[in-house]
């Protein structure tokens, strides 16, 4: 995202430079007027970019806070689902390998 912004700014400054060069070469007497207009346009572009970047930073911060809040939040259905899934996995293991379960029980108790 920062690379795209840098590329857009570079492209915009290049266009402004080219337009200024055309204005200056067309009328030598209005060089200072063209430079003044160019300076105003560059300042306007900078303030617009700063506002957009600030808005993007605020939106990103809000999105990250919301994501963190959702990550911390655990609902009862989700907990119940994982409890049932774990119990099902254990039951499937016990039913599929009774000899292995017996070995494990002997190791733990004995």
First to last CA, the chain: 61
**What is the per-residue pLDDT for 4?**
75
**What is the per-residue pLDDT for 89?**
92
**What is the per-residue pLDDT for 88?**
92
Who's near 20: CB < 8 A, 6+ residues apart? 34, 35, 38
Gap between the Cα atoms of 103 and 81, Å rounded: 30
The rounded mean pLDDT for the chain is: 82
Distances 7 to 46, 47, 49 between C-alpha atoms, Å: 14, 17, 13
Higher pLDDT, 105 or 30: 105
């Amino acid at each position: 995202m920062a690379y795209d912004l840098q590329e857009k700014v570079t492209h915009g400054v290049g266009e402004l430079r080219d337009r200024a060069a055309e204005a200056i070469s067309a009328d030598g007497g209005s060089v200072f007027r063209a430079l003044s207009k160019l300076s105003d346009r560059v300042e306007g572009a900078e303030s617009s970019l700063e506002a957009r970047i600030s808005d993007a930073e605020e939106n990103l911060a809000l999105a990250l806070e919301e994501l963190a809040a959702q990550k911390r939040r655990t609902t009862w259905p989700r907990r119940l689902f994982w409890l049932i899934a774990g119990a099902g996995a254990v039951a499937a293991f016990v039913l599929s390998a009774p000899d292995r379960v017996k070995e494990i029980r002997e190791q733990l108790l004995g």
